[in-house]
C-alpha cells in the first residue's frame, strides 16, 4: 500500500523506543527525529512536520505521566494522539438515513478517480441496505456516461444520464425526478483543472441549481502536497464539505496528500485503497493511525468479515456441524476469505502483525488459497460432496485438470480433514466461522496451517 513505507518507519521508531533502556530526554528526541524523517520521506509538508514533532516532544517531556502506565507507554500514547489529530482528529461520517433523500455532488480534476469512486460510494451504501442512485452529469468527457453505466451494471444499480446531453444541470434535474425514491443520489460531474475557468463556472452553476446536501472533492493521493492547492482552489469556487483521497494503494506520496488535505480543515470521509469497486473505506483517523503504528485495526477487519459473510441456511448449518462438511462448503469458506481482500491487507489489521509478516509468507498463503480453490473446481460434484472416494487415480486426474500436483491435492485433503475437526471444536465452544451462526469465530474459516 502507498503508506506501507510510512507505517513501517513509524513502527520501527516505536520499536526502538521499546528497546531503549531508559525513556529519557535523549530517547524522546531520537524518537521525534525518526518520526520527522518518516513523515518527510512520505512527502509531508516541512512546516507541518515541524509542528507535529514539536507538540510530540513537548507533551512527551513535560506532561505528567498518568497513574497506572509507564513513561514509555505515555510517550507512545502521545505519538498516537498527535498523529490522529494530525490527519483529522475525529471521524466525520457521511450520514445517510433510510427514506430520506441525500444528494452529494462529486468534484475534482480529470483522472482523480471521481467516476470510479461515485460507484464505490454507491456500492458501499448498497451493501448496507440503502437505495443509492447514480447520475452521470459529466457532459464534457466523451465516454464518461458509458463508464459510469458499466460500473453501475457491475453492482446492479441504475445510472441516469444521456450520452448526447450538453446541459449537465438539465441532466441532474431530470435524474432527481427519476430517483424520487432513493436514499442517496450521487452526482458525478465533469473533471476540471484549477485553470479551466469554464468548467469551474459549470461547477458553480451545478451547485447553485441542484443545491446538493454535500459537495465532496475527490483528490488523487499520488499528487502529494499539491492536494492543498487543489483543495483551496475548489473550495473558493464551491464550498467543499468533505474530501475523498484516492489511489492510496500505489504511491509513496499518500502521506503528503492526507496531511495537505487535513491542513485545509475539510474532513476526509473516505479513502480509496485499491482498484476494485469494494476498495473504499470510511476514514476514521484513530483506526488509520493505529494501522500505521502497527496497532492493528480490528474494527475495520470485523466490518470486512461481516461484508464477506457466507450466509448458510439453518438446515445446511446443522448438516455441517453434524460432520457433513464437504469440499463444496470448504470452497465457499475460501471464497468468503477471498472476498475480504488480499491477505496482506487482512493481516495488517491484526494487532502486532502490521509490518511483521514477510511479503514472501503473505504471497505463499494467498497463492495456496487460490490453488486450492482451483483444485476443488476441478473435481466432480460427487467428489466435492464425498471426499472419501478420492483415491490416487482420481487425485492424478484432478491434478492434471487443475495444473497442480498430486501432492497439492493431498495437501488440500489434509487441510479439509483438519478444518472439519476444527468445526466440531467450534461447535463445542459455540464459536463458529463466518455465517455458520454463534458468536465470534472471526477467522474460523482460515485453515490453521496457512504458513
Cβ proximity of 139 and 191 under 8 Å: no
Task: Return d(Cα 162, Cα 145) in angstroms, integer.
Answer: 7
Q: Confidence band (pLDDT; 50, 70, 90) for 267?
A: confident
Handedness of CA 325, 330, 335, 338 (dihedral sign): positive
Classified as helix, coil or strand, 220 is: strand
- Residue 218 is classified by DSSP as E
pLDDT for 439 equals 37
Is 318 within 8 Å of 423 (Cβ atoms)?
Answer: no
The string of pLDDT tens digits covering residues 208-254 is 888 999 999 898 888 887 887 777 777 777 778 888 988 887 655 67
**Strand duo 242-246 + 268-272: pairing:** parallel
Contact 243, 216 (CB under 8 A): yes
pLDDT reported for residue 121: 96
Query: What's the rounded Cα separation, in Å, for the pair 436 and 180?
Result: 38
- Let me know the angle formed at the C-alpha of 369 by 368 and 373, rounded to the nearest 5 degrees: 115
- The percent of residues above 70 in pLDDT, for the chain, comes to 75
Considering the entire predicted model, what is its pTM? 0.68
* Phi, then psi, of 439 in degrees rounded to 5: -120, 155
Facing residues of 282 across strands? 270
Residue-wise pLDDT tens digits, 41-85: 888 888 889 999 999 999 999 999 888 888 888 998 899 889 888
Residue 193: predicted pLDDT: 67
Q: Note the pLDDT of residue 347.
A: 60
Q: How confident is the model at residue 15 (pLDDT cuts 50, 70, 90)?
A: confident
Q: Within a 13 Å sphere around the CA of 205, how many CA atoms are in the beta-carbon half? A: 16
Least confident range of 151-160, 319-328, 369-378: 319-328
Cα 110 from chain centre: 23
According to DSSP, residue 104 is labeled E
Q: pLDDT > 90: what percent of the chain?
A: 31
25 has a pLDDT exceeding 90:
yes
Of 163-167, 261-265, 287-291, the one with minimum mean pLDDT is: 261-265
Least confident of 122-136, 256-270, 370-384, 418-432: 418-432
User: How does DSSP assign 387-401, residue by residue?
Assistant: GGG--HHHHHHHHHH
In whole angstroms, what is the distance from residue 219 CA to residue 262 CA? 12
Cα separation of 5 and 38, whole Å?
Answer: 8
pLDDT tens for residues 152-207? Answer: 999 999 999 998 888 999 999 999 999 999 999 999 998 866 566 777 777 788 88
Phi, psi angles (nearest 5°) of residue 267: -70, 145
Closest to 154 (Cα-Cα) out of 130, 120, 187: 120
**What angle separates helix 406-429 from helix 359-377, to the nearest 10 degrees?**
100
Q: How confident is the model at residue 360 (pLDDT cuts 50, 70, 90)?
A: low
Q: Report the alpha-carbon distance of residue 51 to residue 134 in Å, rounded.
A: 41
3-state DSSP assignment of residue 341: coil
pLDDT reading at 320 higher than 80 = no
The pLDDT value recorded for residue 332 is 74
Strands 242-246 and 184-188: unpaired
- Do 205 and 169 form a contact (C-beta atoms < 8 A)? yes
pLDDT at 338: 65
* 303 band by pLDDT with thresholds 50, 70 and 90: low
H-state helical runs in 211-282: 226-237, 254-264
- Which residue carries 441496505 as its cell? 129
Residue 400 has pLDDT above 90, yes or no: yes
Amino acid at each position: 500500500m502507498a503508506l506501507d513505507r510510512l507505517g513501517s518507519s513509524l513502527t520501527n521508531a516505536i520499536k526502538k523506543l521499546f528497546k531503549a533502556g531508559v525513556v529519557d530526554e535523549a530517547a524522546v528526541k531520537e524518537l521525534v527525529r525518526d518520526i520527522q524523517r518518516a513523515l518527510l520521506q512520505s512527502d509531508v509538508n516541512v512546516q507541518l512536520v515541524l509542528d507535529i514533532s514539536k507538540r510530540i516532544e513537548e507533551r512527551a517531556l513535560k506532561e505528567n505521566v498518568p497513574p497506572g502506565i509507564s513513561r514509555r507507554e505515555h510517550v507512545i500514547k502521545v505519538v498516537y494522539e498527535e498523529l490522529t489529530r494530525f490527519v483529522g482528529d475525529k471521524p466525520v461520517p457521511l450520514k445517510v438515513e433510510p427514506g430520506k433523500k441525500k444528494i452529494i455532488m462529486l468534484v475534482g480534476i480529470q483522472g482523480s478517480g471521481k467516476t470510479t469512486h461515485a460507484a464505490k460510494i454507491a456500492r458501499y451504501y448498497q451493501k448496507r441496505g440503502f437505495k443509492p442512485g447514480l447520475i452521470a452529469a459529466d457532459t464534457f468527457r466523451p465516454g464518461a456516461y458509458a463508464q459510469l453505466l458499466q460500473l453501475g451494471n457491475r453492482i446492479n444499480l441504475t445510472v441516469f444520464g444521456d450520452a448526447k446531453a450538453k446541459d449537465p444541470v438539465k441532466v441532474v434535474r431530470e435524474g432527481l425526478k427519476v430517483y424520487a425514491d432513493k436514499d442517496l443520489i450521487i452526482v458525478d460531474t465533469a473533471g476540471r483543472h484549477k485553470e479551466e475557468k469554464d468548467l469551474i463556472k459549470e461547477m458553480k452553476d451545478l451547485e447553485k441549481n441542484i443545491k446538493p446536501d454535500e459537495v465532496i472533492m475527490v483528490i488523487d493521493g499520488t499528487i502529494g502536497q499539491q492536494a492543498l492547492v487543489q483543495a483551496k482552489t475548489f473550495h473558493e469556487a464551491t464550498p467543499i464539505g468533505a474530501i475523498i483521497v484516492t489511489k492510496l494503494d500505489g504511491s509513496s506520496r499518500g502521506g503528503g496528500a492526507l496531511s495537505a488535505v487535513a491542513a485545509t480543515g475539510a474532513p476526509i470521509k473516505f479513502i480509496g485503497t485499491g482498484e476494485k469497486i469494494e476498495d473504499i473505506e470510511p476514514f476514521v483517523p484513530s483506526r488509520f493511525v493505529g494501522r500505521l503504528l502497527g496497532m492493528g485495526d480490528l474494527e475495520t477487519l470485523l466490518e470486512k468479515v461481516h461484508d464477506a459473510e457466507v450466509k448458510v441456511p439453518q438446515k445446511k448449518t446443522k448438516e455441517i456441524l453434524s460432520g457433513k462438511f464437504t469440499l463444496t462448503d470448504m470452497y465457499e469458506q475460501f471464497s468468503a476469505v477471498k472476498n475480504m481482500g488480499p491477505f496482506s491487507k487482512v493481516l495488517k489489521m491484526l494487532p502486532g502483525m502490521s509490518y511483521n509478516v514477510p511479503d514472501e509468507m503473505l504471497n505463499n498463503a494467498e497463492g495456496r488459497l487460490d490453488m486450492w480453490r482451483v483444485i476443488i473446481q476441478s473435481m466432480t460434484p460427487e467428489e466435492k460432496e464425498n471426499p472419501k472416494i478420492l483415491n490416487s487415480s482420481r487425485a492424478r486426474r484432478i491434478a492434471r485438470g487443475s495444473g497442480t500436483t498430486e501432492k497439492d491435492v493431498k495437501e488440500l485433503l489434509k487441510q479439509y480433514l483438519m478444518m472439519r475437526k476444527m468445526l466440531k471444536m467450534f461447535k463445542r465452544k459455540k464459536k463458529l466461522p463466518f455465517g455458520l451462526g454463534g458468536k465470534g469465530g472471526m477467522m474460523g474459516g482460515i485453515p490453521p496451517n496457512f504458513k
